[in-house]
């Protein structure tokens, strides 16, 4: 890399492909890395925990991290648009205090490196819309200042780590559309999120409306009941359609092809109408 003191690297929405270069891990001062919306493949480098500037929480701009080192596509900048919490936000005066790692919307595979949990100063973490497998690292709770986590639309499996309950600063979470299972850990934060943050998995417990069994999983009969209810509903409507068709054509067909029945039916209607008129009061 030609910019060893690079702080901000945003390569979002381009046509970059291939594997992520391990040289990225040499950018020890990097605080914002945005590689989203490209076609990168392969695994996430194991050395991702080497981003020293993301390891320690920052509360003030340090002298050795001046913003003139921030680069976007080779251009010096003093502000940046950063994707976090599901939206784009501008960062300028506090840019040097913010830390973000976004590799979403690529074709990355493999698991989430355990070394990522070393980035205890990371505030925004987005690996959504890839082909990642494996489990969410158990020590993710060590990343104490995380404000936004998006791991949706991957193939992650296993349970949500209990350490998630210790992330008191978390204000945005999306784990939807994976293969996660088991009970959602109990905490003030996790139960306050919208159920859509957990949909598309086999999870149970609040904020979902699916209760857990005694072993912390979804009861097996839950799926059986759902299938049974679905079958019953389908057959109900099918039976209604068949019954209506038979009744309709049974009556109308008889009147259409049987002249004597048709005449008798119309005489009956005429008599009924005359009787109704006779009972109406005369003004």
pLDDT, mean of residues 233-237: 57
Check pLDDT > 70 for residue 86. Answer: no
Averaged pLDDT of the chain: 77
Reported confidence tier of residue 65, pLDDT bands at 50, 70, 90: very low
Phi, psi dihedrals of residue 211, rounded to the nearest 5°: -80, 150
Q: What percent of the chain has pLDDT over 90?
A: 41
pLDDT in tens, 20-63: 988 888 888 888 899 999 999 999 999 888 888 888 765 544 43
The DSSP result for 1-63, as a single string, is: ---TT--EEE--SS--EEEPPGGGGG-TT--EEE--SSEEEEEPPGGGGG-GGGTS--SS--T
Residue-level pLDDT at 249? 60
pLDDT in tens, 90-120: 544 445 567 889 999 999 999 999 999 999 9
Point out the least confidently predicted range of 19-28, 79-88, 184-193: 79-88
pTM here?
0.68
């Amino acid at each position: 890399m030609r910019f060893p003191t690079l702080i901000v690297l945003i390569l979002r929405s381009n046509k970059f492909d291939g594997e992520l270069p391990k040289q990225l891990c040499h950018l020890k001062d990097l605080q914002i890395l945005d590689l989203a919306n490209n076609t990168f493949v392969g695994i996430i480098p194991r050395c991702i925990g080497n981003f020293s500037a993301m390891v320690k929480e920052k509360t003030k701009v340090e002298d050795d991290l001046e913003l003139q080192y921030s680069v976007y596509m080779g251009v010096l900048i003093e502000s940046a648009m950063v994707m976090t919490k599901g939206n784009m936000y501008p960062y300028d005066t506090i840019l040097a205090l913010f830390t973000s790692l976004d590799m979403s919307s690529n074709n990355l595979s493999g698991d989430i490196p355990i070394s990522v949990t070393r980035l205890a100063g990371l505030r925004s973490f987005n690996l959504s819309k890839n082909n990642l497998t494996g489990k969410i690292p158990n020590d993710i709770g060590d990343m104490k200042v995380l404000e936004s986590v998006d791991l949706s639309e991957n193939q992650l499996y296993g349970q949500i780590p209990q350490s998630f309950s210790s992330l008191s600063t978390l204000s945005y979470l999306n784990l939807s559309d994976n293969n996660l299972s088991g009970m959602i850990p109990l905490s003030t934060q996790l139960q306050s999120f919208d159920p859509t943050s957990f949909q598309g998995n086999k999870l149970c417990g609040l904020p979902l409306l699916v209760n857990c069994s005694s072993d912390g999983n979804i009861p097996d009969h839950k799926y059986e009941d759902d299938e049974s209810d679905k079958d019953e509903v389908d057959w109900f409507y099918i039976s209604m359609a068949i019954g209506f068709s038979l009744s309709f054509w049974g009556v109308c067909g008889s009147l259409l092809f049987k002249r004597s029945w048709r005449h008798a039916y119309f005489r009956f209607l005429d008599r009924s109408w005359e009787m109704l008129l006779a009972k109406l009061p005369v003004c």
